[in-house]
Structure 1
Amino acid sequence: MTAMDDRPIDPRVLISELEGHLLIEATRAEGRTEAARFARSLPWLTDTQREEVEQVYARDHLALSRRSWERTALRGRELRAEYEAAYRALRRRLCTAFLLGAVVLALVTLTSVSAR
Protein backbone atom coordinates (compact mmCIF):
# COMPACT_ATOMS: atom_id res chain seq x y z
CA MET A 1 0.00 0.00 0.00
CA THR A 2 1.39 3.40 -0.92
CA ALA A 3 0.51 7.04 -0.51
CA MET A 4 -0.28 9.23 -3.47
CA ASP A 5 3.41 10.00 -3.94
CA ASP A 6 4.36 6.28 -4.00
CA ARG A 7 6.02 6.32 -0.60
CA PRO A 8 5.02 3.42 1.67
CA ILE A 9 2.54 4.27 4.40
CA ASP A 10 3.84 3.70 7.92
CA PRO A 11 0.95 2.24 9.95
CA ARG A 12 2.38 3.64 13.19
CA VAL A 13 2.32 7.18 11.79
CA LEU A 14 -1.21 6.67 10.49
CA ILE A 15 -2.42 5.35 13.85
CA SER A 16 -0.66 8.17 15.68
CA GLU A 17 -2.33 10.78 13.47
CA LEU A 18 -5.71 9.12 13.93
CA GLU A 19 -5.25 9.08 17.71
CA GLY A 20 -4.33 12.77 17.58
CA HIS A 21 -7.47 13.66 15.65
CA LEU A 22 -9.63 11.62 18.03
CA LEU A 23 -8.01 13.28 21.03
CA ILE A 24 -8.62 16.75 19.61
CA GLU A 25 -12.24 15.96 18.80
CA ALA A 26 -12.80 14.52 22.29
CA THR A 27 -11.25 17.65 23.80
CA ARG A 28 -13.43 19.88 21.63
CA ALA A 29 -16.54 17.98 22.75
CA GLU A 30 -15.40 18.25 26.37
CA GLY A 31 -14.83 21.98 25.91
CA ARG A 32 -18.31 22.47 24.41
CA THR A 33 -19.88 20.52 27.27
CA GLU A 34 -18.01 22.51 29.90
CA ALA A 35 -18.79 25.76 28.08
CA ALA A 36 -22.51 24.98 28.11
CA ARG A 37 -22.34 24.08 31.80
CA PHE A 38 -20.52 27.32 32.58
CA ALA A 39 -22.92 29.44 30.51
CA ARG A 40 -25.90 27.88 32.31
CA SER A 41 -24.45 29.20 35.56
CA LEU A 42 -24.87 32.74 34.18
CA PRO A 43 -28.66 33.01 33.84
CA TRP A 44 -28.64 36.76 33.04
CA LEU A 45 -26.96 36.23 29.65
CA THR A 46 -28.99 36.64 26.50
CA ASP A 47 -28.99 33.78 24.00
CA THR A 48 -26.47 35.62 21.81
CA GLN A 49 -24.21 36.35 24.78
CA ARG A 50 -24.49 32.75 25.95
CA GLU A 51 -23.45 31.46 22.53
CA GLU A 52 -20.50 33.86 22.46
CA VAL A 53 -19.41 32.86 25.98
CA GLU A 54 -19.67 29.19 25.02
CA GLN A 55 -17.58 29.72 21.87
CA VAL A 56 -14.86 31.64 23.73
CA TYR A 57 -14.82 29.14 26.60
CA ALA A 58 -14.59 26.15 24.23
CA ARG A 59 -11.81 27.83 22.21
CA ASP A 60 -9.87 28.66 25.40
CA HIS A 61 -10.37 25.13 26.70
CA LEU A 62 -8.86 23.68 23.51
CA ALA A 63 -5.94 26.15 23.60
CA LEU A 64 -5.25 25.30 27.25
CA SER A 65 -5.35 21.58 26.49
CA ARG A 66 -2.99 22.03 23.55
CA ARG A 67 -0.48 23.96 25.70
CA SER A 68 -0.70 21.24 28.33
CA TRP A 69 -0.04 18.54 25.71
CA GLU A 70 2.91 20.50 24.35
CA ARG A 71 4.43 20.87 27.83
CA THR A 72 3.88 17.17 28.48
CA ALA A 73 5.51 16.23 25.18
CA LEU A 74 8.45 18.54 25.86
CA ARG A 75 8.94 17.06 29.32
CA GLY A 76 8.73 13.57 27.84
CA ARG A 77 11.50 14.43 25.36
CA GLU A 78 13.60 15.90 28.17
CA LEU A 79 13.16 12.81 30.33
CA ARG A 80 13.94 10.54 27.39
CA ALA A 81 17.19 12.43 26.77
CA GLU A 82 18.10 12.24 30.47
CA TYR A 83 17.40 8.49 30.67
CA GLU A 84 19.28 7.81 27.43
CA ALA A 85 22.30 9.71 28.77
CA ALA A 86 22.15 7.79 32.06
CA TYR A 87 21.83 4.50 30.14
CA ARG A 88 24.86 5.33 27.96
CA ALA A 89 26.92 6.23 31.05
CA LEU A 90 25.88 3.03 32.81
CA ARG A 91 26.67 0.97 29.72
CA ARG A 92 30.12 2.61 29.46
CA ARG A 93 30.85 1.87 33.13
CA LEU A 94 29.69 -1.73 32.74
CA CYS A 95 31.83 -2.26 29.63
CA THR A 96 34.80 -0.69 31.39
CA ALA A 97 34.32 -2.91 34.44
CA PHE A 98 33.97 -6.00 32.23
CA LEU A 99 37.11 -5.17 30.25
CA LEU A 100 39.05 -4.38 33.42
CA GLY A 101 37.90 -7.69 34.94
CA ALA A 102 38.93 -9.54 31.78
CA VAL A 103 42.37 -7.91 31.84
CA VAL A 104 42.84 -8.73 35.54
CA LEU A 105 41.74 -12.33 34.93
CA ALA A 106 44.11 -12.62 31.98
CA LEU A 107 47.00 -11.22 34.04
CA VAL A 108 46.25 -13.57 36.92
CA THR A 109 46.07 -16.50 34.52
CA LEU A 110 49.32 -15.51 32.79
CA THR A 111 51.05 -14.96 36.13
CA SER A 112 49.98 -18.36 37.45
CA VAL A 113 50.92 -20.11 34.22
CA SER A 114 54.36 -18.44 34.07
CA ALA A 115 54.98 -19.20 37.76
CA ARG A 116 54.78 -22.94 37.12
Structure 2
Amino acid sequence: MTIAERIIQLRRIKGYSTNKLSQLAEIAQATLREIEIGKKSPKITTLEKICKALEISLADFFNSTADDVPANQRKEPDDLPEHIQKEIDLITEFVLYRHGIKRPPQDTQ
Protein backbone atom coordinates (compact mmCIF):
# COMPACT_ATOMS: atom_id res chain seq x y z
CA MET A 1 0.00 0.00 0.00
CA THR A 2 1.39 3.41 -0.92
CA ILE A 3 1.51 6.38 1.43
CA ALA A 4 -1.27 8.00 -0.61
CA GLU A 5 -3.47 4.90 -0.36
CA ARG A 6 -2.83 4.66 3.38
CA ILE A 7 -3.82 8.28 3.94
CA ILE A 8 -7.01 7.79 1.94
CA GLN A 9 -7.80 4.58 3.83
CA LEU A 10 -7.35 6.18 7.24
CA ARG A 11 -9.17 9.36 6.23
CA ARG A 12 -12.17 7.33 5.08
CA ILE A 13 -12.17 5.21 8.24
CA LYS A 14 -12.38 8.44 10.24
CA GLY A 15 -15.11 9.72 7.93
CA TYR A 16 -13.11 12.82 7.06
CA SER A 17 -13.29 14.71 3.80
CA THR A 18 -10.05 16.00 2.33
CA ASN A 19 -11.14 19.44 3.46
CA LYS A 20 -11.62 18.33 7.08
CA LEU A 21 -8.35 16.41 7.23
CA SER A 22 -6.40 19.29 5.71
CA GLN A 23 -7.91 21.67 8.29
CA LEU A 24 -7.14 19.33 11.20
CA ALA A 25 -3.60 18.75 9.92
CA GLU A 26 -3.15 22.44 9.23
CA ILE A 27 -1.99 21.87 5.67
CA ALA A 28 -3.38 23.21 2.41
CA GLN A 29 -6.20 21.16 0.92
CA ALA A 30 -4.45 21.32 -2.46
CA THR A 31 -1.34 19.79 -0.87
CA LEU A 32 -3.36 16.94 0.61
CA ARG A 33 -5.05 16.29 -2.74
CA GLU A 34 -1.70 16.19 -4.53
CA ILE A 35 -0.40 13.71 -1.94
CA GLU A 36 -3.50 11.54 -2.23
CA ILE A 37 -3.32 11.34 -6.03
CA GLY A 38 0.38 10.54 -5.85
CA LYS A 39 1.49 13.72 -7.54
CA LYS A 40 3.49 14.78 -4.50
CA SER A 41 5.28 12.90 -1.72
CA PRO A 42 4.75 14.33 1.74
CA LYS A 43 7.64 15.64 3.79
CA ILE A 44 8.01 13.82 7.10
CA THR A 45 6.74 16.89 8.97
CA THR A 46 3.62 16.95 6.78
CA LEU A 47 3.05 13.24 7.34
CA GLU A 48 3.41 13.76 11.08
CA LYS A 49 0.73 16.49 10.94
CA ILE A 50 -1.58 14.16 9.00
CA CYS A 51 -1.01 11.36 11.52
CA LYS A 52 -1.71 13.69 14.42
CA ALA A 53 -4.96 14.79 12.75
CA LEU A 54 -5.89 11.13 12.23
CA GLU A 55 -5.03 10.43 15.88
CA ILE A 56 -2.42 7.77 15.11
CA SER A 57 1.33 7.56 15.56
CA LEU A 58 3.72 7.63 12.66
CA ALA A 59 4.64 4.01 13.49
CA ASP A 60 0.97 2.97 13.34
CA PHE A 61 0.65 4.71 9.99
CA PHE A 62 3.18 2.27 8.52
CA ASN A 63 1.71 -0.77 10.29
CA SER A 64 -1.50 -1.26 8.34
CA THR A 65 -3.68 -4.22 9.29
CA ALA A 66 -7.27 -5.31 8.83
CA ASP A 67 -7.82 -4.12 12.41
CA ASP A 68 -7.57 -0.53 11.17
CA VAL A 69 -11.14 -0.85 9.97
CA PRO A 70 -13.59 -0.72 12.88
CA ALA A 71 -15.57 -3.94 13.28
CA ASN A 72 -18.86 -2.19 12.57
CA GLN A 73 -17.51 -1.05 9.17
CA ARG A 74 -16.17 -4.44 8.01
CA LYS A 75 -18.30 -6.49 5.69
CA GLU A 76 -18.06 -10.22 6.21
CA PRO A 77 -19.67 -12.39 3.52
CA ASP A 78 -22.42 -13.50 5.90
CA ASP A 79 -23.30 -9.86 6.60
CA LEU A 80 -23.87 -9.02 2.94
CA PRO A 81 -27.35 -8.68 1.43
CA GLU A 82 -28.73 -11.94 0.04
CA HIS A 83 -28.56 -10.85 -3.62
CA ILE A 84 -24.85 -10.05 -3.28
CA GLN A 85 -24.17 -13.34 -1.49
CA LYS A 86 -25.89 -15.22 -4.37
CA GLU A 87 -23.61 -13.46 -6.88
CA ILE A 88 -20.55 -14.41 -4.84
CA ASP A 89 -21.72 -18.03 -4.70
CA LEU A 90 -22.20 -18.10 -8.49
CA ILE A 91 -18.77 -16.64 -9.11
CA THR A 92 -17.20 -19.12 -6.71
CA GLU A 93 -18.89 -22.04 -8.48
CA PHE A 94 -17.78 -20.74 -11.88
CA VAL A 95 -14.14 -20.41 -10.81
CA LEU A 96 -14.11 -23.88 -9.23
CA TYR A 97 -15.61 -25.47 -12.37
CA ARG A 98 -13.32 -23.54 -14.69
CA HIS A 99 -10.20 -24.74 -12.91
CA GLY A 100 -11.41 -28.33 -12.60
CA ILE A 101 -11.60 -28.18 -8.83
CA LYS A 102 -15.28 -28.98 -8.87
CA ARG A 103 -17.25 -30.87 -11.49
CA PRO A 104 -20.84 -30.16 -12.55
CA PRO A 105 -23.34 -32.54 -10.98
CA GLN A 106 -24.05 -35.63 -13.14
CA ASP A 107 -27.64 -36.33 -14.19
CA THR A 108 -28.70 -39.56 -12.49
CA GLN A 109 -32.03 -39.94 -14.23
TM-score (normalizing by structure 1) = 0.20
TM-score (normalizing by structure 2) = 0.21
Higher helix share: 1
